[in-house]
């Protein structure tokens, strides 16, 4: 959004110029920089650095020239070189973070922002750095948030110059946009001054054909930027943004101007009274569907950040009530701009203050919640100025890679896939060995592991024993553990495989699916028998069957989870058969189970085998097959707990 951003940062050039009482002692590069002529300043600074002259300061000014002309992604290596070279610029780390974020290096950006938040001297920037660090970390989750929306370049209109900011003339249905294709070079970035153009497509559905025309001379000027037009519903009123002309005598801000269609011609534009601030920029206006409310962006004092979104209600033709800030649901310490109202009345806008994919992203305010539109509508570049042609989509602007110019127009169809995020909704409880009842356990550390056993997250249960883990949106299986001295490690698993609801069953664009899981802590009691369920043997055999191996693997896990315990594993038979034979069979079966467990890496000194035959029945005098089965069992008991 290089030219678009200059629509409202051009004031910086004029202010710098107006504030320079003298240019004595400045190099030629410095003079260009102070006048906001960043493109020529870049060339001069790079030549100085190549000669080894004032390298650290030169690299910093190169980086700043890129940033101030809205090319901060190109500034990254120069900020790093300046910092590594010892440039004495207290805020360099913050701006370096912006460059890293613009290039999608979110973790590195978060580190820079966090560092600046701790040691930065600029109170405003330290507050912004805290928010930026949080957003940079949150942005990593957005990388996987891809919708099935379609995006196509509108190459019928795109040129090597900048094209952005569309609207429609209500009566003619012409598409109006801003472009620098014919403007003389703007010294801030070397690209052309923006003017407003219109096209009536031969195929209005495909947006093809037709001839581009420049709007009337009354609207466009040779030495100022004009952009971001919006028309009243009857097409008789035009509001647009116009910049200063870069001179000391020119207006020192970007303002909203208004023109009326009277007697078959547009009137000479005039500044909208009561909406513009003489000390701030106002830009990217858009009318509501009924034409009674004007939304726009402004850098005026009293907002939440750099530029905020405002609205002003029309009280009469060209007369508006005092602007109202849209509040902190929308506005942030960053920059919000380019509002749009969908046919359903939903507010869309661009922002670099909410978690995004790089620079400006497009968001919408749905049911009071701000939502990032995700990829492919958003990209690591600037994505901004959406305009709806119908309920399904429209046109937006972007300077993403692969375009024809610095800013290009793109068609979009918002065929949004409803997103699902899984959450492990856990509870830690303690089982009473006497009653079998459970009670919640508070302040209990809990750990989440991935499929390969890698530790992913940890947390602590609340007063009600509850804990939460945000899981990957992709299908996966997890394990969870809770450890407490004197208790068996509590372990459980959960999977998100097959848990994603069908699209038509999801109520919201972003949905949270909670998967319940319980971790049960059981106190270790020495010499208390614990039945190992489902350990079955073939008749008169002692070899470990595959189904029994699965259950013994759980006992292996218990021994690994509780490395201080030593156990006895015992096998029992029913009373049918001779005592001596049952005794020998049970010993063979117990030893077979122990051998299997040792084969899985358990120290032999931690487990012994004991066959009890029919001597310890759970159901004395068993008569039924069910009672016999209860007596044919495998148990283990803790015999020792190492200190």
Three-class secondary structure of residue 209 per DSSP = coil
Which segment of 2-11, 38-47, 148-157, 181-190 scores lowest on mean pLDDT? Answer: 2-11
pLDDT recorded at residue 252: 52
Distance CA 382, CA 350 (A): 9
pLDDT bracket for residue 642 (50, 70, 90): confident
- pLDDT exceeds 50 at position 24: no
What is 150-413's CATH topology? Neuraminidase (2.120.10)
Report whether 381 contacts 398 (CB < 8 A). Answer: yes
H or E element in which residue 583 lies: helix 579-599
Superfamily of domain 530-641, CATH level 4: OmpA-like domain (3.30.1330.60)
pLDDT digits (tens, 9 = 90+) for 232-244: 999 999 999 998 7
Distance CA 19, CA 65 (A): 18
Main-chain phi, psi angles of 229, to 5 degrees:
-80, 150
What gap in Å lies between CA 118 and CA 615, rounded to an integer? 71
Rounded CA separation 538/532 (Å) = 17
Cβ proximity of 285 and 309 under 8 Å: no
* Lowest-pLDDT choice from 19-23, 122-126, 230-234, 631-635: 19-23
pLDDT at 416: 67
Cβ within 8 Å of residue 335, ≥6 positions away: 305, 306, 307, 351, 352, 353, 360
Rounded-to-integer distance, Cα 488 and Cα 348, Å: 53
- Written as six digits, the tokens of 224 are 């100022």
**CB neighbour class for 444 (10 Å; exposed up to 12, middle 13-18, buried from 19):** buried
Token pair of 136 as six digits: 């940079």
Q: Two tokens at 270? A: 């005039």
Cβ contacts of 584 within 8 Å, gap of 6 or more:
611, 613
DSSP 96-145: HHHHHHHTT-HHHHHHHHHHHHHH-S-HHHHHHHHHHHHHHHHHHHHTT-
Residue of higher predicted confidence among 171 and 348: 348
Residues 6+ apart with CB under 8 A from 393: 149, 150, 411, 412, 413, 414
Number of other residues whose CB lies within 10 A of the CB of residue 180: 29
Distance CA 12, CA 244 (A): 10
Angle (deg, nearest 10), helices 546-561 and 579-599: 60
Question: Is 2-142's fold the same as 150-413's?
Answer: no
CATH topology of domain 2-142: 1.25.40
**Mind spelling out the 3-state secondary structure of 309-361?**
EEEEEEEECCEECCCEECCCCCCCCCEEEEEEECCCCCEEEEECCCCCCCCCE
CA distance 452 to 204: 54
Report the distance separating Cα 423 and Cα 623, nearest Å.
Answer: 49
- Residue with structure tokens 């989440």? 448
Average the pLDDT over each of 267-276, 279-288, 543-552 and give the range with the smallest value: 543-552
Which pLDDT tens digit goes with each residue over 324-360?
999 999 999 889 999 999 999 999 999 998 988 878 9
3-state secondary structure of 11: helix
* Angle between the N-to-C axes of helices 55-68 and 38-50, in degrees from 0 to 180, rounded to the nearest 10: 160
H/E segment holding residue 166? strand 163-168
Residue 492 has pLDDT above 70, yes or no: yes
Q: Which residues contact 387 (CB under 8 A, 6 or more apart)?
A: 165, 166, 167, 168, 340, 394, 395, 396
Q: ω into residue 497 within 30 of 0, thus cis?
A: no
Asked whether 76 and 93 are in contact (CB, 8 A), the reply is: no
For residue 95 the two structure tokens come to: 């701006």
**Amino acid 541: pLDDT:** 78
* Distance between CA atoms of residues 196 and 348, nearest Å: 22
- Decide if pLDDT at 187 tops 90: no
- Return the CATH number of the domain spanning residue range 419-523: 2.60.40.10
Torsion of CA 627, 632, 638, 639, to 10 degrees: 110
Whether residue 631 is predicted with pLDDT greater than 90 in this model: the reply is no
pLDDT for 4 beyond 50: no
Q: Is the pLDDT of residue 255 over 80?
A: yes
DSSP 8-state code for residue 246: S
Q: Which of 246-250, 322-326, 388-392 has the highest mean pLDDT?
A: 322-326
Specify the higher pLDDT residue, 552 or 142: 552
Domain range list for the chain: 2-142, 150-413, 419-523, 530-641
Q: How far apart are CA 343 and CA 630, in angstroms?
A: 69
Question: Per-residue confidence at 23, pLDDT binned at 50, 70, 90?
Answer: very low
Residue 551's pLDDT band (cuts 50, 70, 90): confident
Instruction: Compute the Cα dihedral for 122, 125, 126, 127 and give only its sign.
Output: positive
Sheet strands side by side (includes 490-495): 455-460, 445-449, 477-482, 490-495
Q: Which residues pair with 341 in a beta bridge?
A: 347
Note the pLDDT of residue 25: 56
- Provide the token pair at 550: 């699965």
């Amino acid at each position: 959004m290089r030219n678009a951003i200059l629509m409202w940062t051009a004031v910086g050039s004029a202010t710098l110029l107006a504030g320079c009482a003298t240019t004595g002692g400045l190099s030629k590069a410095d003079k260009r920089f102070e006048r906001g002529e960043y493109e020529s300043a870049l060339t001069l600074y790079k030549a100085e650095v190549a000669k080894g002259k004032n390298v650290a300061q030169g690299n910093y000014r190169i980086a700043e020239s890129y940033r101030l002309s809205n090319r901060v992604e190109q500034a990254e290596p120069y900020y790093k070189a300046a910092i590594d070279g010892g440039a004495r610029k207290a805020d360099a780390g913050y701006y370096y973070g912006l460059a890293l974020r613009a290039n999608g290096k979110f973790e590195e950006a978060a580190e820079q922002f966090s560092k600046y938040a701790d040691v930065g001297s600029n109170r405003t920037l330290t507050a912004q750095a805290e928010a930026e660090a949080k957003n940079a970390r949150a942005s990593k989750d957005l990388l996987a948030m891809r919708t099935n929306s379609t995006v196509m370049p509108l190459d019928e209109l795109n040129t090597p110059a900048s094209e952005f900011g569309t609207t429609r003339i209500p009566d003619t249905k012409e598409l109006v946009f801003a472009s620098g294709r014919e403007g003389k070079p703007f010294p801030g970035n070397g690209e052309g001054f923006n003017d407003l153009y219109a096209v009536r497509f031969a195929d209005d559905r495909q947006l093809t054909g037709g001839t581009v025309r420049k709007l009337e001379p009354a609207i466009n000027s040779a030495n100022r930027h004009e952009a971001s037009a919006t028309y009243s519903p009857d097409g008789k009123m035009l509001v647009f943004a116009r910049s200063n002309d870069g001179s000391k005598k020119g207006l020192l801000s970007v303002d909203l101007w208004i023109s009326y269609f009277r007697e078959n011609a547009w009137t000479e534009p005039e500044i909208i009274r009561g909406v513009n601030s003489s000390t701030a920029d106002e830009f990217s206006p858009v009318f509501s569907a009924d034409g009674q409310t004007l939304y726009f962006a402004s850098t005026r004092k009293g907002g939440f950040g750099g530029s905020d979104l405002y609205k002003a209600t029309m009280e009469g033709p060209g007369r508006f009530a005092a602007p109202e800030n849209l509040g902190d649901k929308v506005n942030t310490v960053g920059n919000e701009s380019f509002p749009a109202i969908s046919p359903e009345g939903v507010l869309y806008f661009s922002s670099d203050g909410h978690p995004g994919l790089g620079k400006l992203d497009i968001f919408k305010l749905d049911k009071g919640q701000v939502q990032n539109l995700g990829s492919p509508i958003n990209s690591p570049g600037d994505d901004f100025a959406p305009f709806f042609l119908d309920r399904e989509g429209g046109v937006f602007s972007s300077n993403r890679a692969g375009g024809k110019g610095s800013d290009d127009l793109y068609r979009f169809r918002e065929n949004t896939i409803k997103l699902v995020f899984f959450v492990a909704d856990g509870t830690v409880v303690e089982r009473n060995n006497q009653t079998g009842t459970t009670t919640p356990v508070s302040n209990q550390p809990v750990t989440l592991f991935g499929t390969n056993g890698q530790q992913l997250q940890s947390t602590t249960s609340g007063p009600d024993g509850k804990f939460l883990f945000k899981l990957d949106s992709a299908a996966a299986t997890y394990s969870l553990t809770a450890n407490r001295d004197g208790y068996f490690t509590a372990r459980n698993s959960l999977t998100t495989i097959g848990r994603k609801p069908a699209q038509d069953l999801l109520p919201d664009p972003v949905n949270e699916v909670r998967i319940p899981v319980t971790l049960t802590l059981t106190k270790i009691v020495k010499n208390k028998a614990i039945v190992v369920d489902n350990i079955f043997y073939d008749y008169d055999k002692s070899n470990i069957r595959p189904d029994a191996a699965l259950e013994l693997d759980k006992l292996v896990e218990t021994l690994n989870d509780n490395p201080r315990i030593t156990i006895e594993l015992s096998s029992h038979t029913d009373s049918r058969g001779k005592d001596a034979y049952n005794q020998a069979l049970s010993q063979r079966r117990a030893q077979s189970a122990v051998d299997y467990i040792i084969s899985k890496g358990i120290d032999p000194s931690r487990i012994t085998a004991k066959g009890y035959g029919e001597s310890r029945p759970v159901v004395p005098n068993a008569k039924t097959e069910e009672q016999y089965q209860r007596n044919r069992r495998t148990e283990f008991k803790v015999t020792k707990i190492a200190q």
